[in-house]
Amino acid sequence: MAAFSFNKLVIFGVGLIGGSLARGLRERAGFAGHVVGVGRSVKSVERALELGVIDEAAALDDDAALSRALQGADIVLLAAPVAQTGPLLARIAPFLDARTIVTDAGSTKSDVVAAARQALGARFVPGHPIAGRESSGVDAALPDLYVDRNVVLCPLPENATDDVERVASMWRATGACVRQMSEAQHDRVFASVSHLPHVLSFALVDQILGTPDAELKFSFAADGFRDFTRIAASSPEMWRDICLANRAALLAELDDYTAVLARFRAAIEASDGAALEAAFTRSRVARKEWQKLGGIKPSGDVAAK
């Protein structure tokens, strides 16, 4: 396995995810390559420059600055909300060197792959780091965010094997564990274990907000409510885009979950304690097994931007 190195890394969206990659490569792996941050305006990436997370800032709407930023880039990471992936790819395609590899950090993949095939073809290697925090922005970036975390790559048949390995080795350098699956499988899996939980967390808070005694209920909320709704502190813009981008898989998960809720409701209405206990026991055992296998990590489960 070849060791990772880079001369120039360009990050579009230097927030928690992109900023943590830059910090991990520099502070944890010790790389001295040049890191460029690109934002909607130079001002939007000034904080990353102040913190030393990037070496250079560029504005997306400035052709000359964008051309300079991308010239000679080894790897480009798109760490923006998934709805921006298509427009971003179309914007940068004319300025890319032939050898530059482009990857992303988006939480959905089928839509991203379709956009990439239209704009770039074989130069795009789809990716998704499974890490995050409730806090967002470059100030929340951590050099060890990806240590022992999964990063999923969804290689395309047209990708060069060396390009896929180069992206994989970049993430491994931050301490991540790299796994592969198809884009369709990715979207089904994460609709279940990431997208649905976020929707449910937002929904519970919204449901309580709609009641006349919401303030009283919130005043008595304790650990269980805090744990269940932690991810409702995530970015509304990001999760709006994820829900719409992975609509079909998420709707299927919502339908299945609604069926389970209906079953639980029927058991409660019928005072069927045995059915409830059996279901709760199955869930408890499964959750404990997942925990034993290392399913709980300290930095949370907020999806990438």
What was the pLDDT predicted at 299? Answer: 37
What was the pLDDT predicted at 147? Answer: 96
Residue-wise pLDDT for 28-61, tens only, equals 999 989 999 999 888 889 999 999 999 999 999 9
Contact 250, 196 (CB under 8 A): yes
Element (H, E) at 276: helix 273-292
Could you tell me which residues come within 8 angstroms of residue 158 by beta carbon, excluding any fewer than 6 positions away? 121, 122
What was the pLDDT predicted at 226? Answer: 95
Residue 301 has pLDDT above 80, yes or no: no
**For range 237-244, the mean pLDDT:** 92
Could you tell me which residues come within 8 angstroms of residue 167 by beta carbon, excluding any fewer than 6 positions away? 75, 101, 103, 125, 127, 153
293-300: list long-range contacts, CB under 8 Å, 24+ apart. 297/131, 297/148, 297/149, 299/131, 299/132, 299/133, 299/142, 299/145, 299/149, 300/132, 300/133, 300/134, 300/230, 300/231
What was the pLDDT predicted at 202? Answer: 97
What was the pLDDT predicted at 221? Answer: 97
| Alpha-carbon span 57 to 46, nearest angstrom | 7
SS3 35: strand
Residue 295 has pLDDT above 70, yes or no: no
Neighbours of 210 (CB within 10 A): 8
Residue 296 has pLDDT above 80, yes or no: no
Domains and CATH numbers, the chain: 8-178 (3.40.50.720), 186-292 (1.10.3660.10)
Neighbours of 91 (CB within 10 A): 17
Residue-wise pLDDT for 100-121, tens only, equals 999 999 999 999 999 999 998 7
Confidence of residue 304 (pLDDT cuts 50, 70, 90): very low
CA angle (182 as vertex; 38, 99 as ends), nearest 5: 40
The structure's pTM equals 0.87
Could you tell me which residues come within 8 angstroms of residue 297 by beta carbon, excluding any fewer than 6 positions away? 131, 148, 149
Q: What is the mean pLDDT of the chain?
A: 92
Residue 1 has pLDDT above 60, yes or no: no
Q: Which amino acid is at 155?
A: P
Contact 53, 25 (CB under 8 A): no
Q: What percent of the chain has pLDDT over 90?
A: 86
